[in-house]
Amino acid sequence: MPFKRPAPYPHRESSSQSHSESSTPYLPPSKHARISTSANSLARVKLYIVQAKFDSSTLSELFLLAEKHAGRLCRDAKDADVIVTAISMRRRFERHIPWELAKAKAVVNPQWLRESAKAGKPLPCGDYAALQDLRTPNTQIDIPSNLLPPDPSFPTDIAKLDYASRYACQRPSPLVCPNQSLAKELDIMRRSRALEGEERSALSYARAISVIKGAHNSRIYGAYPHRITSAHQVSKLPCIGTKIEASVMAYTADRRSQTETILKSERFQALSLFSSIYGIGPTTARKLCSLGLRSLDDLEIYYGVERASQRPSLAQGGDIVESNEGLGDSWIRIALELREDLAIQIPRAEVEEMSRVVMDELDELEPGCVSTIVGGYRRGKSESSDVDIVFTHPDAERVKGLCRRLVRRLHEHGMYNLSGFHGHNPLRNTHWDSLEKALTVFTLPKSSSLHNGIRRRLDLIFAPPEVYWTAVIGWTGSIMFQRDIRQWSKDKLAMKFDSSGITRRYDSKAFYPKTEKEVFDLLRLEWIDPMWRNADV
Ligand code: 8GT
Ligand code: MN
């Protein structure tokens, strides 16, 4: 069954004043899609400007820009690819454009036109979406405001945060800190300990890294420089033991001497390589190593994987696997086959497109769902290794079993290869929460302007509405940030926190904060924006 989504526009402009001479079919944005930028120029875009709410000088500025740069300024919105508007409320917008029509177009704010004109090409429309509501499904169900992101989002009051705290959830941790190379260095040591199964040691390194990231701009140490140049400086930071101080000393003295040895080690290389295969953890990697295997060739022979050219393709709709338990080695065979694709990072635009496609499917299945893209994407990473999305529905009953239904639907539409439903979570190596989830492999459909055939890891997490924001926080991470929220809740509040909820330890009373900010308030933590939650490398 073909995947049901608006295909690229079948019609061409009949009038020759348009750009029908172009041999590159212009792929207009469908629904909230973005314009594929590579092959297109702004001169092919058909625009419609909703005049309401603009003052006359802005309006003439926009008309001028449109006439100069855009392909055509349409009289009727239905002829346009892109609708420019200053309206942000759905109800108000609907007075001008029917909602059904709006959903098939890219509806952007005027800044899109200005900046696209400046750039000489159509910029991704998603970044300039005019209407919040267009992200939410076409539905009669009113989504309670507590399930929608706050508007505007809260500012993070950095001055109130505590760089010297032992808990990552009290420190502001940027994506990249001034001591990033030191953090990366320590991360190599962390990885080598983790690969050798030395969990406690690996955790000390992870803590030290997060402390260094969180202390990026610390003035509390008086003359503390932003760049760490001696071990003495880090010794003032919490969670830095003598061993780590020694590592920092070695690093600041003669740079990378320690890690070079690690990186050159044949064993470290083999363990890293093996554990880079999805589903192979350190324990299996060590087992394979102890069997004398060192390379991917060795691994393929060991698991009986055929050479790339002889492999059957997994590209379209593989089997749905209800659980990875019992799959045994066959999972690893699949992971080996997927390995090259999964090693390619996912740009933000593609993350958004994947989310949009999945959300459209979900909307057909169960109108009224809301979702947040979480993981590294939400923390501002420009590229992600997988896509994590948390979903809910205002009606708790409707969430039950929805994960399974969605996965089946995606599979029917050929977009989906294989899933492990959350049983005991064998592929994420620890059991972190009890939410319903599917760990899948997904390819964008051909009808998507960003279709590239690359298979991507996609984690779908379904939370009941009352724990939606705890799930969003947990899955936003980073790992150390989440870990320290747990630790903080336990140490200071005698509460248990994980992605599936917050409970008081002594009587198991559950708490249901209604917004993300309320989770922080309940846990007596200052608000920290996701951008400042990068407590891992
Ligand atoms: P990346 O995907 O770009 O590599 O980065 P990421 O998005 O930060 O990492 P991730 O491995 O996709 O995990 C996303 C977040 O989910 C983690 O930061 C972690 O806090 C959270 N998380 C859970 N449950 C689980 C789980 O069972 N396993 C793992 N690995 N992460 C989990 O809430
Ligand atoms: Mn992720």
Task: Tell me the ligand closest to 379's alpha carbon.
Answer: 1
Query: In angstroms, what is the span from residue 471 Cα to ligand 2's centroid?
Result: 14
Four-way CATH pick for 314-463: 3.30.460.10, 3.30.56.10, 1.10.357.10, 3.40.50.1820:
3.30.460.10
User: To the nearest 10°, the Cα dihedral for 445, 449, 453, 459?
Assistant: -60
Residue 134 has pLDDT above 80, yes or no: no
Domain with CATH 1.10.150.110 in the chain: 173-264
CA distance 219 to 226: 9
CA angle 6, 123, 136 (to 5 degrees): 50
374-381: average pLDDT = 97
pLDDT for position 143:
80
pLDDT for position 450:
95
Picking from 36, 43, 48, the residue whose alpha carbon sits closest to that of residue 21 is 43
Task: Tell me the ligand closest to 536's alpha carbon.
Answer: 1
346, 430, 473, 482: residue to mutate for ligand 1 pocket, most atoms within 8 A of CB = 482
Residue 310 has pLDDT above 80, yes or no: no
pLDDT over 90, % of the chain = 49
Domain with CATH 3.40.50.10190 in the chain: 29-140
pLDDT digits (tens, 9 = 90+) for 32-49: 333 333 334 788 888 999
Residue 7 has pLDDT above 60, yes or no: no
Task: Tell me the ligand closest to 345's alpha carbon.
Answer: 1
Nearest CA to ligand 1 atom 5: 376
Task: Tell me the ligand closest to 475's alpha carbon.
Answer: 1
Q: Residue 270, Cα to own-chain centre: how many angstroms? A: 29
DSSP assignment letter at 309: G
Select the more confidently predicted residue: 312 or 457.
Answer: 457
> In CATH, what number does 470-532 get?
3.30.210.10
CA distance 2 to 90: 31
pLDDT for position 406:
93
Sequence-distant (≥ 6) Cβ neighbours of residue 35 within 8 angstroms: 27, 28, 29, 45, 81, 82, 106, 122, 123, 124, 125, 449
Q: Of all atoms in ligand 1, which is nearest to the CA of residue 384?
A: 3
97-124: average pLDDT = 89
The average confidence (pLDDT) of the chain is: 82
Dig out the tokens for 424 from the structure: 């005991």
Q: Of all atoms in ligand 1, which is nearest to the CA of residue 433?
A: 24
User: To the nearest 10°, the Cα dihedral for 408, 413, 418, 424?
Assistant: -30
Domain with CATH 3.30.210.10 in the chain: 470-532
Nearest CA to ligand 1 atom 30: 428
Nearest CA to ligand 1 atom 27: 432
pLDDT for position 218:
57
pLDDT for position 141:
59
Nearest CA to ligand 1 atom 29: 428
Residues with C-beta less than 6 Å from any ligand 1 atom: 375-376, 381, 384-386, 388, 425, 428, 430, 432-433, 474-475, 477-479, 482, 499
Residue 312 has pLDDT above 50, yes or no: no
pLDDT-derived band at 256, boundaries 50, 70, 90: low
Q: Of all atoms in ligand 1, which is nearest to the CA of residue 477?
A: 18
Q: Of all atoms in ligand 1, which is nearest to the CA of residue 483?
A: 20
157-183: average pLDDT = 90
276, 383, 390, 428: residue to mutate for ligand 1 pocket, most atoms within 8 A of CB = 428
CA distance 389 to 358: 10
Residue 423 has pLDDT above 70, yes or no: no
Query: In angstroms, what is the span from residue 487 Cα to ligand 1's centroid?
Result: 17
Secondary structure element (H or E) that encloses residue 403, with its range: helix 402-412
CA distance 98 to 291: 65
> In CATH, what number does 29-140 get?
3.40.50.10190
CA distance 321 to 348: 29
- Does CATH place domain 173-264 in 1.10.760.10? no
Place of tokens 């690229």: 8
Q: Are strands 387-392 and 456-462 parallel, antiparallel or unpaired?
A: parallel
Residue 344 has pLDDT above 60, yes or no: yes
pLDDT for position 422:
46
Strands of 328-412 (E only): list them: 346-347, 370-373, 383-384, 387-392
SS3 sequence of 125-164:
HHHHECCHHHHCCCCCCCCCHHHCCCCCCCCCCHHHCCCC
Domain with CATH 3.30.460.10 in the chain: 314-463
Residue 418 has pLDDT above 80, yes or no: no
Query: In angstroms, what is the span from residue 388 Cα to ligand 1's centroid?
Result: 8
Query: In angstroms, what is the span from residue 382 Cα to ligand 2's centroid?
Result: 12
Q: How many residues does the chain have?
A: 537
Nearest CA to ligand 1 atom 28: 428
Task: Tell me the ligand closest to 278's alpha carbon.
Answer: 1
pLDDT-derived band at 138, boundaries 50, 70, 90: very low
Dig out the tokens for 34 from the structure: 């973005």
pLDDT for position 105:
86
Query: In angstroms, what is the span from residue 50 Cα to ligand 2's centroid?
Result: 38
pLDDT over 70, % of the chain = 80
Query: In angstroms, what is the span from residue 101 Cα to ligand 2's centroid?
Result: 34
Q: Which CB contacts under 8 angstroms, 24+ apart, belong to 332-336?
A: 332/277, 332/279, 332/280, 332/284, 332/303, 333/303, 333/304, 333/305, 334/418, 335/277, 335/278, 335/279, 335/280, 336/277, 336/296, 336/299, 336/300, 336/303, 336/305
